[in-house]
């Protein structure tokens, strides 16, 4: 990585503004998955040890957009679910020390709290997206945020693909702008996978839409990934493009031609593209009582595919045998609904087994990460990426604004 990190600069006694990505699932005030919070701990702890004054800032959801939708539909709007206060409390427990919470979305409201900080203290600002200037990358708002900082640290890889006030704009007004330790780790793992992978290199892509993954697929094919495994609803677009009946399974009809083009490019590049051979389906007229696993070619017009089958899971596992680099993004089915999480869990187990045999594995995307955590395999994966869209854009070879804005070494 050619960017300076927090370890390259002197931060003792300085106000260090750390942009973290604490956009985590919260239900009834309880954090359901703290992977991203835990991922930021090394940077925060390092800043504490160095005697910095730490100001943490993050977004959570899209409160202003949701508020507008609620107003248009004349529906109730609960602003409290977008507060970072539960996260500040959780972080305090993880650090074993108080995290002071500033409940104002206005940086000026935090100025007095920040000015009174002692070395090693931590303050967390309220949800940045409660201020309209954040997502607009408003210059005035960026200046306000910069006014709280002597040093800016971006440790929010998951938000690095956004050119927002706290990820890009702020760097124009803080001379020292560097990467955090999580950001460094993410970039090092992904860069190696993309630019210098140990082979065989296998990529697994899932999720609902082919359109979301086209740049990544094309990038992986152009870099000659050895095998490309495609599962999830996006596989049905490939099947329909080849004239195979997929029933009422989710398909992007406008992507049929593109799917054929991708298959042709893969074949020409010597990339083995592997699609499911069987799947779990339900009858659209009786979804609760009709679940069964059938070969793809047995699908009739009334069936809906919701997960890969056991045969496909075995084929995908076999495809990982001997792999030295594995990148996985996206679930194999409707992961959020049991038992249609079985295919995704099976892939998580196969990736962890391949890792134990010597592969470097990188898992990114919410459901993929959840599957790894749910199966208790998080410590058996080389790197669990905290990025969703950022991971995809990086793998597609695109420049991330939040990274480009940082100081070069």
pLDDT in tens, 268-288: 999 999 999 999 999 987 888
Q: How far apart are CA 62 and CA 163, in angstroms?
A: 15
Residue 401 counted as domain residue: no
Same domain, 162 and 92: yes
Where does a domain end: 149, 184, 219? 184
For residues 138-146, average pLDDT? 97
Q: How far apart are CA 136 and CA 24, in angstroms?
A: 22
CATH number for the domain that contains residue 13: 3.40.50.1260
pLDDT in tens, 186-195: 999 999 988 8
Residue 389: active-site member: yes
Where does a domain end: 184, 205, 235? 184
Which one from 61, 120, 302, 389 is the annotated catalytic residue? Answer: 389
Same domain, 180 and 202: no
Same domain, 176 and 221: no
Same domain, 264 and 155: no
Q: So what's the pLDDT on residue 403?
A: 97
Same domain, 228 and 349: yes
Same domain, 286 and 362: yes
Same domain, 27 and 166: yes
Neighbours of 338 (CB within 10 A): 9
The structure's pTM equals 0.88
Q: How far apart are CA 308 and CA 137, in angstroms?
A: 41
Evaluate if residue 145 carries a pLDDT over 90.
yes
Residue 389 counted as domain residue: yes
For residues 141-163, average pLDDT? 96
Residue 175 counted as domain residue: yes
Residue 173 counted as domain residue: yes
Same domain, 228 and 92: no
**C-alpha separations of 173 from 102, 104, 145, 148, 246 in Å:** 22, 22, 9, 11, 54
Same domain, 157 and 25: yes
Where does a domain end: 184, 217, 234? 184
Which one from 14, 36, 53, 213 is the annotated catalytic residue? Answer: 36
Same domain, 241 and 143: no
Residue 117 counted as domain residue: yes
User: What total of structural domains would you count in the chain?
Assistant: 2
Same domain, 57 and 140: yes
For residues 330-339, average pLDDT? 92
pLDDT in tens, 111-122: 888 999 999 999
Q: So what's the pLDDT on residue 127?
A: 96
Residue 140: active-site member: no
pLDDT band with cut points at 50, 70 and 90 for residue 223? confident
Residue 376: active-site member: no
Which one from 209, 223, 291, 324 is the annotated catalytic residue? Answer: 209
Q: How far apart are CA 98 and CA 124, in angstroms?
A: 10
Domain coverage including residue 306? 197-395
Which one from 366, 387, 388, 402 is the annotated catalytic residue? Answer: 366
Same domain, 87 and 120: yes
Q: Which two tokens stand for residue 7?
A: 């370890």
């Amino acid at each position: 990585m050619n960017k300076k990190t927090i370890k390259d600069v002197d931060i003792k006694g300085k106000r260090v503004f750390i942009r973290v990505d604490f956009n985590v699932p919260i239900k009834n005030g309880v954090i359901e998955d703290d992977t991203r919070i835990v991922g930021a701990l090394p940077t925060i702890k390092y800043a504490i040890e160095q005697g910095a004054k730490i100001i943490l800032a993050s977004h959570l959801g899209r409160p202003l957009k949701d508020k507008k939708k609620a107003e248009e539909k004349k529906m109730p709007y609960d602003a409290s679910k977008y507060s970072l206060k539960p996260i500040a409390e959780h972080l305090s427990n993880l650090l074993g020390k108080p995290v002071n919470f500033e409940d104002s979305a206005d940086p000026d409201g935090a100025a007095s709290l920040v000015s009174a900080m002692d070395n090693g203290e931590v303050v967390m600002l309220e949800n940045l997206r409660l201020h309209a200037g954040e997502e607009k990358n408003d210059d005035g708002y960026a200046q306000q945020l910069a006014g709280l900082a002597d040093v800016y640290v971006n440790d929010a890889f998951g938000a690095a693909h956004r050119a927002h006030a706290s990820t890009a704009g702020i760097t124009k007004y803080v001379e020292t702008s560097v990467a955090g330790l999580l950001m460094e780790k993410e970039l090092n793992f992904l860069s190696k996978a993309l630019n210098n992978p140990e082979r065989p290199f296998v990529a697994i892509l899932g999720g609902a839409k082919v359109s979301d993954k086209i740049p990544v697929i094309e990038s992986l094919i152009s870099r000659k990934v050895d095998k490309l495994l495609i599962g999830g609803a996006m596989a049905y677009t490939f099947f329909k493009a080849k004239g195979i009946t997929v029933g009422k399974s989710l398909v992007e009809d406008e992507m049929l031609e593109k799917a054929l083009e991708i298959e042709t490019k893969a074949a020409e590049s010597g990339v083995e593209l592997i699609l499911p051979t069987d799947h779990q389906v339900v009858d659209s007229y009786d979804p609760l009582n009709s679940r069964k696993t059938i070969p793809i070619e047995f699908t009739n017009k009334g069936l809906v595919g919701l997960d890969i089958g056991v045969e496909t899971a075995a084929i995908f596992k076999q495809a990982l045998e001997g792999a030295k680099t594995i990148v996985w993004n996206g679930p194999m089915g409707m992961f959020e609904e049991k038992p249609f999480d079985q295919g995704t869990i099976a892939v998580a187990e196969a990736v962890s087994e391949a890792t134990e045999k010597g592969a470097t594995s990188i898992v990114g995307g919410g459901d993929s990460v959840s599957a790894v955590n749910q199966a208790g395999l998080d410590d058996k994966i080389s790197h669990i990426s905290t990025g969703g869209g950022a991971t995809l854009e990086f793998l597609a070879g695109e420049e991330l604004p939040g990274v480009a804005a940082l100081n070069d070494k």
